[in-house]
Amino acid sequence: MSVLDDLLDAIYAAPNLTRGLCVGQHDLFDAVDDPAAVERALGLCAECKVLTECAAWADSQPRRSLYGVIAGHIYREPRPGVRGRPRKQKETA
Ligand code: SF4
């Protein structure tokens, strides 16, 4: 299978989310550091007619590839240098 075949498979597997309420509003949905924008985007997702399809698509994607408000969830890029939660107990050297 060629790279083109892989790309076409990915394109055809993507759901049609052109009826999503986020269409044309990437500034609002990508503003994860703006609480008012996040609140507004989450509200639009809750009213969106393609929420189910969008959530299924988001669940099928690698989490690190997602950014912004998507299907009623907030995805932020991992911060450089931060690897998971802090340990609950101190390490013994
Ligand atoms: S659920 Fe939210 S992110 Fe998904 S298409 Fe609708 S408005 Fe956009």
pLDDT at residue 22 is higher than 80: yes
pLDDT at residue 81 is higher than 80: no
Residue nearest to atom 8 of ligand 1 (CA): 22
Burial bucket for residue 3 (CB in 10 Å: 0-12, 13-18, 19+): exposed
pTM of the model: 0.74
Nearest CA among 63, 86, 71 for reference residue 17: 71
Mean pLDDT of the chain: 85
Nearest CA among 7, 42, 14 for reference residue 28: 42
In this structure, of 22-26, 45-49, 78-82, the range with the lowest mean pLDDT score is 78-82
pLDDT at residue 40 is higher than 80: yes
Per-residue pLDDT averaged across 14-36, rounded? 93
Mutate to test the pocket of ligand 1, among 23, 70, 73, 75 (most ligand atoms within 8 A of CB): 70
Interval between CA 23 and ligand 1 midpoint (Å):
8
Distance CA 27, CA 62 (A): 22
For the chain, the structural domain boundaries read 22-75
